[in-house]
Amino acid sequence: MSPPTTKKRGNPKTVKKSESSVGDSTGKPARARRKRVAVRKKSAPEEAGNSVAEKALSLPSAQAEEPLASTPVAGVEDKSEGDLQAIEELRELYQGMRQEMGKVIIGQSEVIERLLICILSRGHSLLMGVPGLAKTTIINTLSQIMSLKFSRIQFTPDLMPSDITGTDILQETDRPGRREFVFIKGPIFGNIILADEINRTPPKTQSALLEAMQEHRVTASGKVFDLPSPFFVLATQNPIEQEGTYSLPEAQLDRFMFFIHVDYPSAAEELRIAKETTGGEAARLKHIVTGEQVLKFQEVIERVPVPDHIYETALQWVRATRPQSDDPPDYVKEWVTWGAGPRAYQYLIRGAKARAVLYGSYLVRLEDLVAVAEPVLSHRILTNFHAQAEGVTSRTIIEKLVENAVQ
């Protein structure tokens, strides 16, 4: 048997000396360079662990530990920290807005919350309720505390589209004997537009809102005029008196993100209304938030992460409302004529993001999706005669969808 071979080892002192004498391109020793790289490898995961947004997005650990990617990761962290600060600021402002509106509005907390969600999601709302439930007062108060330009349009049967968008007027110019047409902007050029009793005007005038609501612009006399930002249309409708009214077409109903039902106040709230509103002067409201802040919060809400199962649940709800889909529920086949379209899917996600932020969450939860399901889907589900005969409404169908998802 041959003796085992032994490897020759160099002089330890010589090796140590050779390592210390080798440097990088900057002239610094390799030992110092390795020490700096080790520190960078250690600090990157710690910084990634401090970012709540990166936890929600579940970034791979290899990305965070890559030393050469330190600059992009730092930029993401700065942006995430800015978003977290904006979310905390919005949550505090939301509480302040609720308290300020409580000086004028008693009760209707759910209506106020849904209006704020709709505004932060860049949407429009349609409020349905009997007269005397403070629908107009809620919208007017909301515009005051947000320090936005408020315009009210009272819809009547003789209202013309030019009464909303504006019209050309012949005026004198600086040159003698010469006149020209000048466009005078209508009440649509505001930030918050109250379309009061929108179903009392003919479809010709109702359609004047379509372009403004969808594209945030107005076309008059062949010219295009951009509307100010932010821009919201908050319309009201009376469900009782139907004489002399014109039902909104489905195309315009679909432009509204939320269909908000305004119900009667409770007994305790109605007692407070009688005590606090029948004597003394009206409370003076403070400006809580500006238009620039609203635009900033809208951008932050768009970056809120959404888990995959929330996307899948919202998609299942929307597709389940269509009796022509692949496998709709039996009650949908029996009671529904037409279901919700893709715009409902978009509004479900946007509304869930806004609600999550208002409640201080950095991630969309199932409870946020459940909370916005009814105002998003109720006016997008058209029931048939069998449902109406059995007293089944679109809200009944939505409750069944939500119950199946929760279980």
pLDDT value of position 46: 40
pLDDT value of position 284: 82
> What is the rounded average pLDDT of the residues 184-202?
91
Q: Lowest mean pLDDT of 77-91, 166-180, 251-265, 348-362, name the range.
A: 77-91
Q: How many CB atoms lie within 10 A of CB 360?
A: 12
pLDDT value of position 26: 44
> What is the rounded average pLDDT of the residues 351-369?
92
pTM value is 0.75
158-171 pLDDT, tens digit each: 999 889 998 888 88
Q: Is the peptide bond before 230 cis (omega within 30 degrees of 0)?
A: yes
40-50 pLDDT, tens digit each: 444 333 443 34
Structure tokens at 346: 């978009």
d(CA 337, CA 154): 33
> What is the rounded average pLDDT of the residues 337-352?
94
344 vs 361 pLDDT, higher one: 344
d(CA 60, CA 27): 34
User: Which among 82, 70, 78, 9 has a CA at the least distance from the CA of 42?
Assistant: 70
CATH 2.40.37.10 applies to domain 304-407: no
User: Which among 142, 169, 172, 159 has a CA at the least distance from the CA of 206?
Assistant: 159
- In which band, very low, low, confident or very high, does the pLDDT at 173 lie, cut at 50, 70 and 90? confident
pLDDT value of position 131: 87
**Identity at 392, one-letter amino acid code:** V
Rg (CA), the chain: 30
pLDDT value of position 57: 36
Residue 247 has pLDDT above 50, yes or no: yes
Q: Lowest mean pLDDT of 70-74, 84-88, 225-229, 242-246, name the range.
A: 70-74
d(CA 377, CA 344): 7
| Largest Cα–Cα separation, the chain | 123
Domain boundaries, the chain: 68-303, 304-407
Structure tokens at 377: 């889907």
The CATH number of the domain covering residues in 68-303: 3.40.50.300
- In which band, very low, low, confident or very high, does the pLDDT at 407 lie, cut at 50, 70 and 90? low
102-125 pLDDT, tens digit each: 888 988 899 999 999 999 999 999
d(CA 73, CA 63): 9
d(CA 81, CA 128): 40
**3-class SS string, the chain:** CCCCCCCCCCCHHHHHHHHHHCECCCCCEHHHHHHHHHHHHHHHHHHHHCCHHHHHHCCCHHHHHCHHHHHHHHHHHHHHHHHHHHHHHHHHHHHHHHHHHCCCCCCCHHHHHHHHHHHHCCCCEEEECCCCCCHHHHHHHHHHHCCCCEEEEECCCCCCHHHHHEEEEEEECCCCCCEEEEEEECCCCCCEEEEECHHHCCHHHHCHHHHHHHHCEEEECCEEEECCCCCEEEEEECCCCCCCCCCCCHHHHCCCCEEEECCCCCHHHHHHHHHHCCCCCCCCCCCCCCHHHHHHHHHHHHCCCCCHHHHHHHHHHHHHCCCCCCCCCHHHHHHEEECCCHHHHHHHHHHHHHHHHHCCCCCCCHHHHHHHHHHHHCCCCEECHHHHHCCCCHHHHHHHHHHHHHC
Confirm if 158 and 148 have CB atoms less than 8 A apart.
no
